[in-house]
Chains A and B, each alone.
With several copies, the nearest count.
Chain A
Amino acid sequence: MKIHEYQAKKIFEKVGISIPKEGVATSPEQAMGVARDIGLPVVIKAQVHVGGRGKVGGVKLARTEEEVKEFASMILGMDIKGLTVRIILIGQAIDIERELYLGVITDRGSNRPVIMVSTEGGVDIEGVAKKTPEKIHRFTVDPAYGLLPHQAMNLAFSLSSEVKETRKIATTLQKLYQAYIVADASLAEINPFVLSRDGNFYAIDAKVVLDDNALFRHPDYEKMRDFTHTEKIEQEAKERGLSYISMDGNIGCVVNGAGLAMTTMDVIKHFGGEPANFLDVGGSSDPQKVRHALQFLLIDEGVKSIWFNIFGGITRCDDIALGLVSAVDELGIDLPLVVRLIGTNEKKGKKILAESGLDIHTVETMEEGAKTAIRLSEGRK
């Protein structure tokens, strides 16, 4: 789960990482109140779940109350990469001496947390990693011991040779690791971690990605959810046990299993078609799920044909067939239906379809399914 900068900073604050004075606002008036409390100048930042907000005007320095009002009005409601800004963060403006990067990420290669630090803070760290990989220092943490003080210190010495600074950086690294651990995060990042001209360090921007699997341990994180319209649909699907992602094409797919669902999209594309979605009904046999799946498919008005690609394992083909027949009936679907049923209880399933009287195009293989779905989608508006 992605969370906003201001939410990430709350998590950081709890473990003692120092952040600038700041507050959030959803209106220009609120923004002015927050700015007054903090004292001018302030930085106003759009809170959206995408990067690169600065380049499109989502971050502004306001020196006067008038500017606070002006910029707050400008940024609230702004569209950034398709997302509407509804919350802004108003923070104390820090006089920057140096910008560092500090991050912790779960590394798939080693199955361990990796700490990354760089003197090149404040910019896109992936870019730094590509252009000047030698400027990123990495350390793989042994989870049995955590980030030990001397390890944090060794990393800090790669960013500064002033022992006063290295002690502060090392302490922050240990706190960042602690935040990553207590929050069950998959990523925790301070970029930039700023040394101000008056000699203090601040986490100016923060990014935390939470592990969805661990949310059950953090009921309080639930209120941090802030979904875009698309994410909301995906989340609703998830709550019904479905994995659904909308795409640009016109062939709706209903598949069991993520790998097979991706492959279904790939095969459609391979034969010249365009998938309208990724949809995984999971491993269950609940006929109800098929109805939910079709409901999500139909939100997308661009769908011209529907292809069921089911490889029965735990999922039983007869359950899918039953769900399909009743759902088509209930929902009054009049789109062409291509169905491939194979595996557990395949015969039973096919029999149900055959006896339903529905106009269903039964196919035996993925290729056949893809070609049929493409053909049927063509010429329809």
Chain B
Amino acid sequence: MGVLVSKDSRVLVQGITGRDGSFHTKLMKEYGTNIVAGVTPGKGGEMFEGIPVFNTVVEAVDETGADVSVIFVPARFASSAIFEAVDARIKLIVAITEGIPVKDMVSIMRFAEDKGSRVIGPNCPGIITPGECKVGILPASIFKKGRVGVVSRSGTLTYEIVSHITAAGFGQSTALGIGGDPVIGTRFVDLLELFRDDQQTEAVVLIGEIGGSDEEDAARYIKETNYPLPVFSFIAGRTAPKGKRMGHAGAIISGSSGTAQSKIESLKEIGVKVAKIPSEIGRFLKEEFDAG
């Protein structure tokens, strides 16, 4: 089980012959991900690590029935690659690429709505359903199959927290990073909904950071839907200065909105336990499940 990707996912790699694409295709394949096709315009007909390469996504889909695509295409061409995946009716598109113009993402999201595709990212580490399928660049070794759903706006911070979850004796149903840009395809609320409907998931860890109002929206959603699963959270950036972009375009406190304080308070108010330091997440889970 888990959400979005599983052993049944048929994964296409866009930019499979590029530097990052080829490296991570090998790692994903090693993990057991069912990679059925790659796309690099001009290399159609070739093979890469036993995987057929196509010129266009529509051909790849026609020939292999791919239903998940992961984007390793460089920033300048990445938006066109995502458009192509959406147009070919790929249901789930995981955009790893960093640096895609925000305006392009605005158009892509409009197009994806029209066509019924879900985009994760861009500028994200990907998604893993441990023991089944890894799509992206997450380090496989720290993950373990289990009952905690993990969703994060960050990359390495996710690994940090997942390592505490695993160390505390809990595995993950699915873990993913949703990306650090202002305009992203999938948000906390979407994942909360998916995790709620997943049999395997018994708790959700929500890793937020400064910027935007995704955490506040999640808090509202948890309250309004009387969310049935326990949710634990960590918010990065309590010491971040106002008006400074902390690494990626989404992490910026602009004016009075987007502070860690606002997010932490919104979550605490509705009963979500918010960790002060990453290791606390492990403790929270132990308390929850040792008591229950």
Contacts and interface: CB of A to CB of B under 8 A. Distances in A.
Answer yes or no: A and B touching, Cβ < 8 Å: yes
A314 B160 contact: no
A143 interface: yes
A106 interface: yes
A263 B99 contact: no
A24 B136 CA distance: 49
A260 to B, nearest CB: 4
Given A258-B180, A265-B240, A150 B155 contact: no
B168 interface: no
B187 to A, nearest CB: 9
Interface residues of A, number: 67
A162 B42 CA distance: 7
A373 B15 CA distance: 42
Given A153-B41, A213-B101, A266-B239, A111 B106 contact: yes
Interface in B231-283: 234, 236-241, 244, 246-251, 255-256, 276-279
Interface in B176-216: 180-184, 207, 209-210, 212-214
Nearest to A346: B141
Interface in A169-211: 181, 184, 186, 211
Interface in A326-369: 342-344, 365-367
Given A243-B247, A262-B237, A257 B101 contact: no
B102 A106 contact: yes
B153 interface: yes
A245 interface: yes
Nearest to B20: A314
A168 B241 CA distance: 40
- Residue of A258, A267, A268 with most partner-chain B CB within 10 A: A258
Contacts of A323: none
B100 interface: yes
B95 interface: no
Given A247-B241, A259-B236, A278 B106 contact: no
Interface of B: 41-42, 44, 55-58, 75-76, 80-81, 83-84, 87, 99-107, 109-111, 114, 125, 137-139, 141-142, 152-160, 163, 180-184, 207, 209-210, 212-214, 217, 234, 236-241, 244, 246-251, 255-256, 276-279
